[in-house]
Amino acid sequence: MNAQTLYDKLWNSHVVRQEADGTALIYIDRHLVHEVTSPQAFEGLKLSGRKLWRSASMLAVADHNVPTANRAAGITDPIARLQVETLNNNCAELGVTEFRMNDVRQGVVHVMGPEQGATLPGMTVVCGDSHTSTHGAFGALAFGIGTSEVEHVMATQCLLIKKSRAMQVRVEGDLRKGVTAKDIALAVIGQIGTAGGTGYAIEFAGSAIRKLSMEGRMTLCNMAIEAGARAGMIAADDTTISYLKGRPFAPQGELWEQAVAYWKTLHSDAGAVYDCVIDFDAAKIKPQVTWGTSPEMVVPVDGRVPDPALMSDPVKREGAERALQYMGLTANTPMTEIYIDKVFIGSCTNGRIEDMRAAAAVAAGKKVAKNVQLALVVPGSGLVKQQAELEGLDKIFTAAGFEWRDAGCSMCLAMNADRLSQAERCASTSNRNFEGRQGPGGRTHLVSPEMAAAAAIAGHFVDVS
Amino acid sequence: MRKFTLLDGLVLPLDRANVDTDAIIPKQFLKSISRSGFGPYAFDEWRYLDHGEPGMDCSKRPLNPEFSMNQARYQGAQILLARENFGCGSSREHAPWALEDFGFAVIIAPSYADIFFNNCFKNGLLPIRLPEDQVDALFKEVEAKPGYRLVVDLEAQTIRTPAGVAYKFEIEAFRKHCLLNGLDDIGLTLQHVEAIKTFETKHRAAQPWL
Ligand code: SF4
């Protein structure tokens, strides 16, 4: 048999049947659900009189709309409340496991799933959410789907899709101090662009990737979608296996041994062929900061805001001009001279325990700068929050002047009360800096947790490396 | 799903690259639990001068006169002409729902983000990829000629301009078949219940921990 990529292995083991034009019916092992993209799917299923194929494959949580403060008061926004209640009712009615708002296991769906061991190597994982690519960190085939597809999976446990092309992003060497998986992600996107991975499934490989913790791997795969790739993935190895051991949804005993034996085969074979390979030198990556309104508009922190006048492609130039205007920035300004108004540490990109620790280490014994009106730390899940509090990280944050909140998407997309006001500038550990993403007129700079915490303390961006 | 065969429609240009789904339908409208009614909020932040919230009566809101959607010559447009990487970002199907609800049936652009592209087909919207130079030529013509229309023929896979130029476009055979016949994916898949069950049994035997 020919040498296969990890993607080939995951794909081949899930094909139910194939059309003449290559469209395949793919079996789905895990279906994660949140409140925003599921109500219309549940409704569609009911209206057509169809049944849920396998409720045990599903795991649901409300994350986008939930408040991160004063949960005892419930959700005050009536429209948001209705959406969360709709999820609660649908799950109760159809026997779908859901972690409700006041359950300690509640959290951002992409933090909660892996934490529970609900994402396992070799699985196909889908969710009506583009950052489902996160779960590829476990050697799984994981990708975001639309609501019609959510309904399709509910009714058939399958999806109709075509195989993507395979891209390998190889990062070799050692990262410098202060440089994280987030910086790798932004550096990759800066180079290949937000459409660079369109039509591809990206496998991240190389010694720098193998050295990453599971948290770091999730951060990286999370942002594969920001490079245009529906799926990002990393081979399963000992790091993956030890992360999963003992988690509630992971297999136990005899089955665990059997599973581990299989998981160890989930890597690309030597000599496997990719449609495209891109190499990065880990040692050359510096902490990254975005300057514009697309994740590809990014520079190293010791760089400057680029000058659109020097861009030869007219579409790019116009985009950069618009972005600078929206962001209220002038070409050639050093990134370290950009002052911020708010800080957001959290999201499915950087809301895990390791991120909390990294930010706390920077904030310890310091104070948030006067010009920073709000520095928000939002753990990715109730369990992350619990663990952080056990380690005393909450105390470090609050002593430094950060606010310590309950788990949810929060200011990553500002569907709840946490948002930027017009023209406010934010150092954010989330994944999207689109216009209005964190609030109408808000200006987002994407950075790592270390960089966000350091910016909170200094009041402007600083080089943590 | 509605069938798509032939469309003779007015064209609306949206001359920006990397238009993301947050821009197509901002997040505050995602709180709805219904599939319809998103049209008035399509491109909300660019289209109106005030800040939109769900439930607002959009007929009374101040329009941004600069935005093409608000210009008299483009009213009633059914074809959206766009730039590269259209529909990037969030997987929200509310984006195609909003475009469809607004009245679009066809999008023409050099490239799309994968999830958005896929979502369009599930809603009877036809996203067409044309090479960059052809899209450029179309932008020039639309802007030069008020009332500019195109004829999109899915069966023949062509776009005809008023001057009689025909651009050929590609589409996967299976997607074309589904659109032409207005077929529902779930119904199609359920014709293979036995194959799914057989697969499932085998798969669970191989990985009993699943
Ligand atoms: S944290 Fe942000 S990116 Fe992640 S699921 Fe929530 S809204 Fe989406």
Q: Which residues line ligand 1 (CB under 6 A)?
A: A 63-64, 108, 110, 129, 131, 347-348, 409, 412-413, 430-431
Kindly give, in sequence order, each residue whose CB lies less than 8 Å from that of residue A260, ignoring residues fewer than 6 positions away: A241
pLDDT in tens, B32-66: 999 999 999 999 999 999 999 998 999 999 999 99
The CA angle B25-A433-A368, to the nearest 5 degrees, is 130
pLDDT of residue A349: 98
Closest Cα of chain A to B89: distance in Å? 7
* pLDDT bucket at A171, cuts 50 / 70 / 90: very high
Percent over 90 (pLDDT), chain B: 94
pLDDT of residue A1: 59
Check whether A134 has a pLDDT greater than 90: yes
pLDDT in tens, A11-49: 999 999 998 888 999 999 999 999 999 999 999 999 999
Kindly give, in sequence order, each residue whose CB lies less than 8 Å from that of residue A380, ignoring residues fewer than 6 positions away: A107, A108, A111, A112, A346, A347, A348, A351, A352, A355, A407
Measured CA to CA, the distance from residue B127 to residue B119 in angstroms comes to 10
pLDDT of residue A21: 84
pLDDT in tens, A233-275: 999 999 999 999 999 999 999 999 999 999 999 999 999 999 9
Mean pLDDT calculated for residue range B123-131: 96
- Confirm if B191 and B133 have CB atoms less than 8 A apart: no
The CA angle A121-A26-A56, to the nearest 5 degrees, is 60
Are A157 and B196 a contacting pair at CB < 8 A?
A: yes
Are B22 and A434 a contacting pair at CB < 8 A?
A: yes
Give chain A positions within 8 Å (CB) of B172: 21-23, 162
pLDDT of residue A19: 86
Q: Does B207 touch chain A (CB under 8 A)?
A: yes
Q: Does A256 touch chain B (CB under 8 A)?
A: yes
pLDDT in tens, A90-128: 999 999 999 999 999 999 999 999 999 999 999 999 999
Q: Which atom of ligand 1 is nearest to the CA of A347?
A: 1
Are B210 and A198 a contacting pair at CB < 8 A?
A: no
Between the alpha carbon of residue A19 and those of residues A15, A289, B43, B114, the distances in Å are 11, 44, 36, 20
For A:122-141, CB contacts with B below 8 A are 122-123, 128-130, 132
- This prediction's pTM: 0.95
Mean pLDDT is lowest, of A121-135, A326-340, A433-447, B171-185, for B171-185
Kindly give, in sequence order, each residue whose CB lies less than 8 Å from that of residue A104, ignoring residues fewer than 6 positions away: A382, A383, A386
Average model confidence (pLDDT) for chain B?
95
Check whether A340 has a pLDDT greater than 90: yes
Between the alpha carbon of residue A37 and those of residues A99, A151, B93, B152, the distances in Å are 17, 10, 8, 31
Percent over 70 (pLDDT), chain A: 100
Are B114 and A316 a contacting pair at CB < 8 A?
A: no
- Confirm if A416 and A392 have CB atoms less than 8 A apart: no
Average model confidence (pLDDT) for chain A?
97
Mean pLDDT calculated for residue range B68-90: 97
Q: Does B71 touch chain A (CB under 8 A)?
A: no
- Under DSSP, is residue B141 helix (H, G, I), strand (E, B) or coil? helix
pLDDT of residue A277: 98
Query: Distance from first CA to last CA of chain A, Å, rounded?
Result: 46
* CB-count burial class (<10 Å; 0-12, 13-18, 19+) for B140: exposed
Mean pLDDT calculated for residue range B58-85: 97
Q: For ligand 1, atom 4, name the residue with the nearest CA.
A: A348
Mean pLDDT calculated for residue range A441-457: 98
Measured CA to CA, the distance from residue A12 to residue A265 in angstroms comes to 14
pLDDT in tens, B136-154: 999 999 999 999 999 999 9
Q: Does B22 touch chain A (CB under 8 A)?
A: yes
Neighbours of A92 (CB within 10 A): 11
pLDDT in tens, A289-323: 999 999 999 999 999 999 999 999 988 999 999 99
A197, two tokens: 């991975």
Are A315 and B17 a contacting pair at CB < 8 A?
A: yes
pLDDT of residue B72: 97
- ipTM for the predicted complex comes to 0.93
